[in-house]
Structure 1
Amino acid sequence: MSSKTQGYFYVLITMSIWGGFTILSRLNAQWHISAWDITAIRFALASLILMPILVYRKDTAFLWKKEPIVLALFGGVGYCLTVYSAFLYAPAAHGAIFLNGCIPLFTAIAAYVLYRQPFDRHMWLSLVIMLLSLGGMAYLLTLHNHTALGLGDALFVLGALCWGIFTSLLRRTHLSAWHAMSGVAIWSTLIYLPLYLIFFPKHLDQVEPLHLAIEGIFHGVFVVLIATLTYVEAIKRLGAFKTGSLVTLAPFISAVLAVPLLNEALNPAIVLGLIGMGIGALQPWRWFRRNQLGDT
């Protein structure tokens, strides 16, 4: 198997997991699993797997640096609480639009605010497309007496902001993918779990054990561990832009699949939002320039 073929294989695994994240996060609402509970399960399970490995390898020194702690606050606790909460109030299509569509935008904004990294012409074009699609979506929603932005959508936007800050900070750290993944999981557990146990409501006894097992294994193992590693391996073989574009497509596909799988509805406003935000996030015009398909 060639390196390129391996790259597409890793992309396929990552896309499947990222697409499943949208569907299974939305299922939390139907299975009555709260955002507080699934966040605790996700971090606790990942840490139980990672910590023994780090101790066995005598590879724990990096945990005492400030970078994993800061990354955990934004890419761990902040992102998970906002996104899991959002899926309790808004359908999968809204997650694709307001979360995955806005992540590239907020990543660029965070890079500018934190490091004065200017927008390139691709991001300016994406910004225009996104604003036009959101404006058109809002107009179509108001025509049918729907609110343009609900609580779930606002939480998706906040989650995109958390992930944008996390991504920008991650680019400036010297942590490997393994250390970044392990540090975020373990410090998120250390920060969040005491707060969860003392202050937050718990409804685990009201949930089917099978549903808890499915969600726990998927979010704690597949999302945190497997998808991170396959994403990094895909980048090594295909480049950052091509890999990022392909895996970003997964949530938009999941939004369409949620119609038959979760019995969610699509209307012209949501379709416009999906198309516009998808184009803005994927930047398909760059695929026609050979020099843009590498590691950019």
Structure 2
Amino acid sequence: MSPQKQGYLYVLITMCIWGGFTLTARLSANWGISAWDLTALRFLLAFIILMPILIYKKDTAFLWKKEPFILAMLGGVIYCLSAYSAFHYAPAAHAAIFLNGCIPLCTAVAAYVLFQQAFDRHTWISLSIMLLSIGAMSWMMYLQTGQAFGFGDLLFFISAIWWGIFTVLLRQWKLSAWHAMSGVAIWSALVYVPIYLLFLPKHLNEPDPVHLISQVLFHGIFVVIIATLTYVEAIKRLGAFKTGSIVTLAPFIAAMIAVPVLNEPLSGAIVCGLIGMGIGALQPWRWLMHQDSLQQSLEQKKNQSSLD
């Protein structure tokens, strides 16, 4: 299999898992699995798998640096608690808009606030489209229901802020995918699980055991470990822009699947939000410009070879 085909295979795996995250997280809320329980069990399982591997490889020194700990608190514990809680108040389509759709916006703002990275022209266009689509969607929702936003939408947006900061710090600190993934999982378990056991409410006897086990296996293994590694491998073969653009589609596809599978409503306002946020996140005009620049590069090489 060629590197390009391998890259698309890794992208497909990542899309399935990321899309599955939206659907299964909403299902966990419907099944009565609390955010406290799912977050604890997710990181506990990942810890049990990863810690022996790190000890066997004698690769634990990086854990004692401040970077993995900070990333774990932001992109691990706090992000998971806010995101999983949001699914108890809002449907999957809202997650695609206010969480996944807003992540590029929050990442750009976090990069500017933390490291004074100015917005480029593409970012300004993208942010403008997103803000217009959210404004139009909110206005339509207000006309329909008398309420523009819900508590779940606020939690999704807060989750996007945490993930945006996490992404910027991860990019700035240049940790490898393995160290970033392992550090987040292990420190999240070390910090959160004891707090959960001692102080937080537990509802492990309420959901069906099959539902609980399936959620823990999916989120602890597929989301935490496999999706991180396949995403990085896809970037190595296809590049960050193409990989990121394709994978961004996953939560929006999941929102469409949630309509028949989970019997969730899909109003005109939500469709407006999905389309606008999808365009803003994907930045399709960059695909055209990327193709144009690639064609120009090929033409230049062709002209150069003919002169030689």
Q: Which category of TM-score, normalised to the shorter sequence, fits these structures? A: over 0.9
Query: How far apart, in 2, do the equivalents of 1:225 and 1:160 lie?
Result: 20
**C-alpha displacement of 1:147:** 1.4
Amino acid at match of 2:174: H
SS of 1:144's partner is helix
- Rounded to whole Å, the distance in 1 between the matches of 2:19 and 2:136 is 26
Match in the other structure for 1:27: 27
Which residue is 1:60 aligned to? 60
| 2:119 aligned partner, one-letter code | F
Aligned to 2:140: 140
**Distance in 2 of aligned mates of 1:113 and 1:134:** 22
* 1:177 and 2:180 aligned: no
Instruction: Give the aligned partner of residue 261 of structure 1.
Output: 261
1:203 match: secondary structure: coil
Aligned to 2:196: 196
Letter in 1 for 2:65: K
Residue aligning to 2:150: 150
Give the equivalent residue in structure 1 for 2:124: 124
Aligned partners of 1:189 and 1:174: how far apart in 2?
23
Q: Deviations over 1:182-234 (max 9, x none)?
A: 00000011111111111110000111111111100000000001000000000
1:58 match: secondary structure? coil
Give 1:92 shift: 0.2
Relative distance call for 1:173 and 1:161 in structure 2 (3 A) is: same
Amino acid at match of 2:114: L
Q: How far apart are 1:15 and its partner, in Å?
A: 0.1
Secondary structure at 1:206 match in 2: coil
Aligned residue in 1 for 2:300: none
Which residue of structure 2 aligns with residue 282 of structure 1? 282
Aligned equivalent of 2:10: 10
- Paired with 1:145 and 1:91, the residues of 2 have a C-alpha distance of 16
Q: Work out whether residues 241 and 293 of structure 1, in 8 Å CA contact, stay in contact via their aligned partners in 2.
A: no
**Gap regions ≥5 residues in structure 2:** 295-308
TM-score, normalised relative to structure 1: 0.97
Matches of 1:210 and 1:59, distance apart in 2: 35
CA distance in 2, matches of 1:148, 1:200: 32
Opposite residue 103 of structure 2, the aligned amino acid is: I
Q: Supply the distance in 2 between the matched residues of 1:291 and 1:230 (Cα, whole angstroms).
A: 25
Residues in 1 aligned to 2:233 and 2:292: alpha-carbon distance in whole angstroms: 19
- Structure 1 residues 41 and 179 mapped into 2: Cα distance closer, same or farther (>3 Å)? same
Deviations 1:106-154 (A, max 9, x none): 1111111111100011110011101111111111111112411111000
> Does the CA contact (< 8 Å) of 1:234 and 1:243 recur in 2?
yes
- Give a deviation string over 1:150-169, Cα, whole Å, max 9, x none: 11000000000000000000
2:97 corresponds in structure 1 to 97
Instruction: Tell me if structure 2 keeps the 8 A contact 1:286–1:292.
Output: no
2:227 alignment partner in structure 1: 227
What RMSD in Å do the two structures reach over aligned CA positions? 1.2
Q: C-alpha deviations, 1:86-123, integer Å up to 9, x for none? A: 01110000000000010001111111111110001111
Write the distance in 1 (CA, Å) between the matches of 2:292 and 2:154.
33
- Which position in structure 2 is the counterpart of 1:107? 107
Q: Which residue of 1 aligns with 2:240?
A: 240
Measured against aligned partners, the alpha-carbon deviations of 1:230-258 in whole angstroms (never above 9, x if no partner) come to 00000000010110111110000000000
2:301 equivalent in structure 1: none
C-alpha contact (below 8 Å) 1:110/1:165 kept by paired residues: yes
How far has the Cα of 1:293 moved from its partner? 8.8
* Contact kept in structure 2, 1:242 and 1:293, CA below 8 Å: no
Identity percentage of aligned residues? 69
Question: Does the residue aligned with 1:90 lie in a helix, a strand or coil?
Answer: coil
Quote the Cα distance in structure 2 between the aligned partners of 1:148 and 1:174: 39
Please say if residues 286 and 293 of structure 1, whose CA atoms lie closer than 8 Å, have aligned partners that are also in contact. Answer: no
How far apart, in 1, do the equivalents of 2:22 and 2:293 lie? 27
Give the TM-score, by structure 2 length.
Answer: 0.94
Runs of at least 4 residues of structure 1 off by over 6 A? 291-294
In 1, Cα distance between the equivalents of 2:144 and 2:158? Answer: 26
Local SS of the residue matching 2:76: helix
Q: SS at the partner of 1:149?
A: coil
Q: Which residue of 1 aligns with 2:210?
A: 210
Shift of 1:174: 3.5
